Structure 1
Amino acid sequence: MAAPQKGDLSASERKILQVIAAGDVQEATQLLASKEVRVNCLDEYGMTPLMHAAYKGKADMCRLLLQHGADVNCNQHEYGYTALMFAGLSGKTDITSMMLDAGAETDLMNSVGRTAAQMAAFVGQHDCVTVINNFFSRARLEYYTRPQGLDREPKLPQSLAGPLHKIIMTTNLNPVKIVMLVKENPVLVDVAALEKCYQVMDLLCEQCVKQQDMNEVLAMKMHYISCVFQKCLAFLQKQDDKLDALVKSLLRGRDSDGFPQYQEKFIRDCIRRFPYCEATLLQQLVRSITPVEIGNDPTAFSVLTQALTGQMAFVDADYCATCGERGANKRCSLCKAVTYCSLTCQKLHWFTHKKMCRSLQEQSVGLDKDTPRLKELKGAVSASRGEGGCCWRLSFRASCFCLYLC
């Protein structure tokens, strides 16, 4: 069959592009069953149906098209855009992950020399950037589920591959979150299973460093997850209550200010134990963390998160005080100062948060008392917004002063 040409569309193919925009999966399924519809047909701009679905954020439609053999790496677009680039531009992390799982290449460039991650970053879709940069192929992990060389048994049982891959793919590096992911999978809450998992992570770390195109970021991530697994293993061997004691140790705040000192020391120790001292990333992390006194900013977690995922931790978003999950929308009903992603996390954190809750509540009450000048400035901000662009300078200055006072 001849390769599709730009703009060479049948009536049914034009129809399916309209159906994709409307999000009608049922009708799209019927059209794809027709011989008149080529799943990789091109409109006049060189966009395939999959590109349209990815750009419009239609996850179910993307899944349907991939099931029918859509080419995830087609780059016939007039400016060289791929489906992964459109997924990143849409800001949909689930679609971005779907494209990656389908084999999308991350290093393809468009006509201006930008990759999918760079395009997503350019338009501010940082969550998609994180997903792309942290992608790890399941096939690379499956390699260890088969005996290699003289080995009689695989280094990783097939039953552990799925749960382990889920942890590798996480973009939340908070140790509490990783321990919670371990607890979610009963097959991982086992001494023998954790031993195999951390040994495979160490092998992957070594592979990332010694491969021709060295990947220090991925190597550090593999090493860090391995350290968390080893800590889980140590607690499983010593504690009767499984991993609950480890979670409490990581969350427990010091009496003076509630800062999780044990967690900070643990993350610093993980970084210090990275076995490849010549790595540039390790040296940068050490230089950033060493001068900082424990309890001050930046924390080891924020520095590590920015280095490995590109995320600016705790900026422009609320993070769960327990597991570090982004987009936490539940606040402590008393102090209103601490956010959580779920009731479970709030309950886990209460044993240590209750020591600081009253003082945080008093601080919050003090901040809520507006001075006359602050009220005047807030009024100026509201007025300027109503009058349009002519008062943007007043709005900007008033906003800055409000932030300064708060």
Structure 2
Amino acid sequence: MTTQENTATTKRGDLTSAEREMLQVAAAGDVQEATRLLNSKEVRVNCLDENGMTPLMHAAYKGQADLCRLLLQHGADVNCNEHEYGYTALMFASLSGNAEITWMMLDAGAETDLVNSVGRTAAQMAAFVGQHDCVTVINNFFSRTRLEYYTRPQGLEKEPILPPKLAGPLHKIIMTTNLNPVKMVMMVKENPLLVDVVALEKCYRVMDLLCEQCVKQQDMNEVLAMKMHYISCVLQKCLAFLQERDDKLDALLKSLLKGRDGDGFPQYQEKFIRDCIRKFPYCEATLLHQLVENIAPVEIGNSPTAFSVLTQALTGQMALMDTEFCATCGERGADKKCSFCEMVVYCGQACQRLHWFTHKKVCKALQRQREFQSKDSASVREIPGNADGHDVMEGNCSSLLGLCLGFAELGHSHAFSENYPDPSNAVAEAMSGCQDWGREGHPSS
């Protein structure tokens, strides 16, 4: 069955025995059996169970990507909202936490603004249950169809604004949720089609057109407009370096990664991102005002960085305490530590090699900091507490003080984010807290 039925005429629970089997197979992810059932005349691809769930909803909720793909190929209605509480396939996909299926639903035409019976969208529901990757996918989705519009001549144009061969590589950059400029330059560098002056000129002009379209459309999308503008700025920077005969963009990558003396903070990268935001052409945009208000008062090198503020605004991602980010490209889930200091992580050897030229300047200081923390924490564990606990209290104060001073040795480096306090403030608060605890917990009389 390859045509899409009108689910409005399908009653909940009105199922044949084959359709009941289909619902079970969809949840189980048996592609072979599902293919057999879908090819029979007894199974409607959009049949509804007693709760109003279609086979696609079952497969999406269970995280069965191959089954979802098969059902979509057979005409499953991605926007069916016959569920008793108004849930859609996109909502079930986002609740499952499967980013691949969430993207699949969006690519098939899932509407992001549909709400359930309590007025929540798929992104809001995913955020509520902590599926942040799915939230990011939804917030950053951009249909390739919208980009391919520019690959066809319009009106009196003799040739398209964007050559069709560039649509794929450019769409990949648009869809990335990692806004680190190093990562974007690496994506350009990895594709020979983009490492070309003419190609980059065409790509950044399309980004500017999309930015304008997002602002001037009926439902203005400031977030998407800012992202298109930001990508345009990165592409223009690549173009400028190519024109200066930086054939492989290596000089640009080093400029973005180079840390300042003392703490290794990437000043050039911070200034570049701030400049991108400042150049946003629509001064009346609320998002622009919010970004400026959050970034302008912050001295370069302190937190929050322009990158963290921009990322949170455009993707909804927040720096999580238990999440490691590559020190080079900013990719999440990095797990390769520097073998010397063990304080910086990378997503692979390529990123570690690329970052070493600047990391080696602070590596020894970070190593001393780690060793100090290890020794100090060990000494605290060995302190035998008195009956009144004062020795333990003083040991804990000393440990926290040493930790804060260890951070302060490097200043406000890239290791700090909005989740970490200013070291000097942390010291004062720690000592004050310990003194208060001593007075309240152990009265002198």
Q: Is the 8 A contact 1:305 1:313 kept in 2?
A: no
Correspondence for 1:76 among 68, 73, 82: 82
Change in 2 beyond 3 A, CA 1:92/1:263? same
Q: Partner residue of 1:392?
A: none
Correspondence for 1:171 among 174, 177, 180: 177
Q: Is the 8 A contact 1:109 1:115 kept in 2?
A: yes
Correspondence for 2:156 among 142, 150, 158: 150
Q: Is the 8 A contact 2:380 2:399 kept in 1?
A: no
Change in 2 beyond 3 A, CA 1:146/1:403? farther
* Separation of aligned partners in 1, 2:192 and 2:356: 25
Q: Is the 8 A contact 1:182 1:189 kept in 2?
A: yes
Deviation track 1:303-324 (CA, whole Å, cap 9, x = no partner) reads 1001111111354311111111
Q: Partner residue of 2:329?
A: 323
Q: CA deviation at 1:33?
A: 1.5
Q: Partner residue of 1:287?
A: 293
Deviation track 1:146-194 (CA, whole Å, cap 9, x = no partner) reads 1122221111111111111111111110001111111121111110000
Q: Partner residue of 1:127?
A: 133
The one-letter code sitting in structure 2 at the alignment partner of 1:180 is M
* Separation of aligned partners in 2, 1:38 and 1:403: 64
Deviation track 1:28-81 (CA, whole Å, cap 9, x = no partner) reads 222222211111111111000100010011111111111111110001100000
Please say if 1:274 is aligned against 2:280: yes
Q: CA deviation at 1:376?
A: 8.5
Please say if 1:353 is aligned against 2:359: yes
Correspondence for 1:100 among 106, 129, 132: 106
Please say if 1:110 is aligned against 2:116: yes
After the TM superposition, which residues 1-400 of structure 1 pair with which residues of structure 2 at under 5 Å, given as runs?
A: 3-313=9-319, 315-369=321-375, 370-371=377-378, 373-374=380-381
Q: Is the 8 A contact 1:235 1:242 kept in 2?
A: no
The one-letter code sitting in structure 1 at the alignment partner of 2:140 is N
Larger Rg: 2
Q: Identify unmatched segments of 5+ residues in structure 2.
A: 385-395, 404-445
Percent identity over paired residues: 78
TM-score by length of 1: 0.91
* Separation of aligned partners in 2, 1:95 and 1:373: 48
Q: Is the 8 A contact 2:189 2:248 kept in 1?
A: no
* Separation of aligned partners in 2, 1:165 and 1:255: 37
Q: CA deviation at 1:20?
A: 2.4
**SS of equivalent residue, structure 2 residue 342:** coil
Change in 2 beyond 3 A, CA 1:375/1:175? farther
Q: CA deviation at 1:402?
A: 9.4
Moved over 4 A (4+): 371-377, 401-406
Change in 2 beyond 3 A, CA 1:314/1:255? farther
Q: CA deviation at 1:262?
A: 0.7
Kindly tell me the number of residue pairs found equivalent between the two proteins. 384
Q: CA deviation at 1:372?
A: 5.2
Q: Is the 8 A contact 2:19 2:43 kept in 1?
A: yes
The one-letter code sitting in structure 2 at the alignment partner of 1:58 is Q
TM-score by length of 2: 0.83
* Separation of aligned partners in 1, 2:156 and 2:55: 47
* Separation of aligned partners in 2, 1:309 and 1:293: 24
Q: CA deviation at 1:332?
A: 1.0
Q: CA deviation at 1:21?
A: 2.7
Change in 2 beyond 3 A, CA 1:29/1:366? same
* Separation of aligned partners in 1, 2:274 and 2:382: 44
**SS of equivalent residue, structure 1 residue 355:** coil
Q: CA deviation at 1:240?
A: 4.0
* Separation of aligned partners in 2, 1:89 and 1:402: 42
RMSD value, Cα: 2.0
* Separation of aligned partners in 1, 2:401 and 2:336: 26
Q: CA deviation at 1:404?
A: 9.1
**SS of equivalent residue, structure 1 residue 363:** helix
* Separation of aligned partners in 2, 1:112 and 1:402: 49
Q: Is the 8 A contact 2:373 2:402 kept in 1?
A: no
